[in-house]
Structure 1
Amino acid sequence: MAESKYAEIVLSCVEEKPFKAEVVSEYHTLVHVLSGEMKMVQTDHSYVFTEGDILLVPRNQLCAVIKRPTNGNPYKSIAVTFRPERLTDYYAQKKITIQQPSVQKLRTFARNALLDSYFSSILSYFEMKSELPDEIALLKIQEGISILRSIDKEVDSLLADFSEPGKINLAEFMEKNFMFNMPLQKFSYLTGRSVATFNRDFRKIFHTTPQRWLTQKRLELSHYRLAENKEKPAEVYLEAGFENLSHFSFAFKKHFGYAPTELRKEA
């Protein structure tokens, strides 16, 4: 995966095999897919984005992102992140406050002249040999916020919400999100706990360590998809939370006593 970075503006490129990452961004991120395919897997839904699609991913959202080249074209996208300090300054100048935070969910946008010209101007910056000056990057970030506000009248309730995750039901959260291969620090933060409190609460609920429980849940999910959905191991391991196919196959055989390919043959 190749990547060029100018402050909070990023050009991503995946030229060969699929690239997968587990994402919990600290910032709201506006993404424009230029070519290829990006699949986003969240707790209750999966999305596939292709050339021309534009989306806004809220901060603190657990998701698996799989980027793939398609039809001989690499995966390419532009991502603009909106950091809290940028948003705080922007909304302070506008003297806007929100009455009620919005539901933190992914938003998509139809292409229009404002967004097309915005991303076209950003793309040209990546042809520069020098870094983009900070003041120009700031202007582009502010421009992006202004465009979103002009095409989505409810986006203020998302972008101007600076609250942190509160303590939530740990068992319910983990049952919904076990397939995301995240460090325990991230799971702890998203459930409103310190790492020590997370580990203590987890053992009290599940009577085992987080890592053992996560591995078992991911293997059970993989087994179900192989046996019931007739999927291939290569289609399953990434979305089940495993980093590579060989590690998945080893863990699967150790747990069930047979390889995932054997299960597929039986099915």
Structure 2
Amino acid sequence: MDFQIQYLTPDIKLSSYDDKLFKTETVFEYHMLVWFISGETRIIQADKTYGFKAGDIFLIPRNHLATIINYPKDGLPHKAVVMHLTTERLKDFYSTVDGQRKTGHRETSIHHFSSHPLLSSCLASLIPYFEMEGTLPENIAHLKITEAISILREIDPDIDCVLADFDEPGKVDLISFMEKNYMFNMPLERFGYLTGRSLSTFNRDFRRIFQTTPQRWLTQKRLELAYYHLSEKNKKPSDVFLEVGFEDLSHFSHAFKKQYGFAPSLAR
């Protein structure tokens, strides 16, 4: 896979690759503002799937599980400008904002801004810097990120509920969280963090509640979801295994046959 990342600063980067697809399951530590130059992306969250194409701009909130599948398209690589809106920088920004900012419940959905001209202009203005040698001076990077935050607040009056939420995940109901997020193939440490637990506490609570190990329960739930997509939605195994949390098709096929006694292709 020809995958390249060019950083202007630790918080501003240009990513590009031209292989068939690139899939990752992640929880972003910071809010991610993304502008697509070319290619397509599918982002799968617990309750919704999003599709984005060239020209789209969107914000992915931090600390929420997502499966991201990126594709080149029309002979062009998947290419995007990404800006990290870190908690530290956002705290600095809001410390200078006059008046009351909006607060509310923790937002989990992705915010799509289509090809908004103000945001497009702000992010497109970074392209010449990627073509120059050296790094972007911090004062210019600060101005660019501040401009992006200011535009977001101008075009979305409710965005403060996302950007000004500086809380870390608290302890949540384990059954509800796992039933909603089991299809994300994340390390158990990350599941623990997002449920407000250390790894040892997560394992102990999980065994007490579910009467089995996390890995066994996760595999069982992912196979059940795969069976539903194959038999009820008439999907192909190659279209299902990534969405339900498996890393490769052969592993998925082996686990599915062991569970159900027949190959996933026969479930259709």
> TM exceeds 0.5?
yes
Question: What secondary structure sits across from 2:154 in the alignment?
Answer: helix
Q: Contact (CA 8 Å) 1:170, 1:202: kept in 2 or not?
A: yes
Deviation at 1:96, TM superposition (A): 5.1
Deviation at 1:257, TM superposition (A): 2.6
Q: 2:238 and 2:88 mapped to 1: Cα distance?
A: 41
Deviation at 1:126, TM superposition (A): 1.5
Give the one of 69, 73, 80 matched to 2:72: 69
Give the one of 32, 37, 49 matched to 2:35: 32
Name the structure 2 match of 1:259. 263
Name the structure 1 match of 2:49. 46
Name the structure 1 match of 2:181. 177
Which AA in structure 2 matches 1:60? N
Name the structure 2 match of 1:108. 112
Q: 2:122 and 2:160 mapped to 1: Cα distance?
A: 19
Deviation at 1:134, TM superposition (A): 2.5
Count residues in correspondence: 264
Which AA in structure 2 matches 1:3? I
Q: 2:120 and 2:18 mapped to 1: Cα distance?
A: 24
Deviation at 1:253, TM superposition (A): 2.2
Give the one of 129, 133, 143 matched to 2:133: 129
Give the alignment of 1:207-222 within 5 angstroms: 207-222=211-226
Name the structure 2 match of 1:91. 94
Name the CA shift for 1:96/1:157 in 2 (closer, same or farther; >3 Å): farther
Q: Contact (CA 8 Å) 1:97, 1:160: kept in 2 or not?
A: no
13-22 or 175-184: which moved more?
13-22
1:2 aligns with 2:14: no
Deviations 1:1-43 (A, max 9, x none): 3222231112122302111111211111111111111001111
Q: What is the TM-score of this pair, normalised by structure 2?
A: 0.93
Q: 1:211 and 1:50 mapped to 2: Cα distance?
A: 35
1:201 aligns with 2:205: yes
186-195 or 88-97: which moved more?
88-97
1:244 aligns with 2:248: yes
Name the CA shift for 1:244/1:129 in 2 (closer, same or farther; >3 Å): farther
Name the structure 1 match of 2:23. 20
Q: 1:194 and 1:112 mapped to 2: Cα distance?
A: 41
Name the CA shift for 1:247/1:134 in 2 (closer, same or farther; >3 Å): farther
Name the CA shift for 1:196/1:96 in 2 (closer, same or farther; >3 Å): farther
Name the structure 2 match of 1:160. 164
Q: 2:105 and 2:31 mapped to 1: Cα distance?
A: 13
Deviation at 1:186, TM superposition (A): 1.1
1:80 aligns with 2:83: yes
Which AA in structure 1 matches 2:127? L
Q: 1:182 and 1:96 mapped to 2: Cα distance?
A: 40
Q: What is the TM-score of this pair, normalised by structure 1?
A: 0.93
Structure 1 runs (4+) deviating above 6 angstroms are none
162-171 or 132-141: which moved more?
132-141
Deviation at 1:102, TM superposition (A): 4.2
1:187 aligns with 2:191: yes
Deviation at 1:129, TM superposition (A): 2.6
1:227 aligns with 2:231: yes
Which AA in structure 1 matches 2:19? E
User: Which runs of 5 or more residues in structure 1 are unaligned?
Assistant: none
User: Which runs of 5 or more residues in structure 2 are unaligned?
Assistant: none
